[in-house]
Amino acid sequence: MKNVIHKSLVQNLPLRTTGCNIGLKVIVVVFLMAWVGTVVAEAKNGFDLQGSLVPVEEILRGGPPRDGIPAIDKPLFIPAGRATLVASERVMGVFFKGIAKAYPIRILNRHEIVNDAFDQTGVVVSYCPLCGSGVVFLLPQSKEGNTYGVSGLLYNSDVLLYDRESESLWSQLMLKAISGRRRGEKLTLLAATHTTWGQWQKRYPDSLLLSEASAEGVSYNNNPYADYEKSEQLWFPVQHKSGDLRNKERVLGLSISGVDKAYPYSELGHSSSEFEDVVGGTKVRVVWSAESQSAYVVDGDGKQLPTVSAYWFAWFSFHPKTQVYRANNQ
pLDDT at 40: 42
Alpha-carbon torsion 146, 149, 155, 158, what sign? positive
Nearest to 150 by CA among 216, 70, 215, 73: 70
Q: Where are the domains of the chain?
A: 2-41, 51-214, 240-329
| The model's pTM | 0.86
Report mean pLDDT in 10-residue bins for the chain, 330 residues. Answer: 34 38 39 38 85 96 95 97 96 98 97 96 97 95 79 98 95 97 96 98 97 93 92 95 95 98 97 96 97 97 97 98 89
Helix (H, G, I), strand (E, B) or coil at 110: helix
Q: Which of 312, 161, 323, 315 is nearest to 246 (CA)?
A: 312
Which has the closest alpha carbon to 173: 229, 133, 232, 114? 133
Residue 171, H or E segment = strand 169-171
pLDDT for the residue 328:
81
Element (H, E) at 40: helix 18-41
Q: How many CB atoms lie within 10 A of CB 189?
A: 16
Largest pairwise CA distance in the chain: 86
